[in-house]
Amino acid sequence: MSERLVRDFCDAWKRRDIDELLGYFADDAVYHNVPTDPAQGHDAIRNVMMLFVPMSKEISFDIKHLAEEGNIVMTERVDRFVMDGGTIELPVMGVFEVEGGKIKAWRDYFDMQQFMSQMPS
């Protein structure tokens, strides 16, 4: 069940609908892009998503590997963000904690320098 939720969540990014994405999270969820500060709760998570979703014409999360143990789902992915002026392709390791059918915590580990070096100018 946790695996299906995470797969559906990763697939939902292609629609770039922040309200839909927030629906996958528990009210007090924590979203942590590990190179930055964690965001807790829907409002804080929305603020983080607003930094890159609106500027992206296309978003896709390509899951390379997935492992599930209890309520923990780990993904090795390549996240792609197509923007005016270029595309960012970022290898990411993600850890999802699922509770009550919602994402309680999501931590993504990636190289911020690799992300920044691909940002269109």
Q: Which of 87, 26, 42 is nearest to 60 (CA)?
A: 87
84 is catalytic: no
State residue 44's pLDDT score.
Answer: 98
Cβ atoms 49, 20 nearer than 8 A? no
Per-residue pLDDT of the chain (121 residues; tens, 9 = 90+): 899 999 999 999 999 999 999 999 999 999 999 988 999 999 999 999 999 999 999 999 999 999 999 999 999 999 999 999 889 999 999 999 999 999 999 999 998 888 878 877 7
State residue 100's pLDDT score.
Answer: 97
- Catalytic residue (one of 19, 28, 62, 108): 108
79 is catalytic: yes
Report the predicted TM-score, pTM, of the whole model to 2 decimal places.
Answer: 0.93
* Assigned fold of 2-118: Nuclear Transport Factor 2; Chain: A, (3.10.450)
- Catalytic residue (one of 11, 19, 28, 79): 79
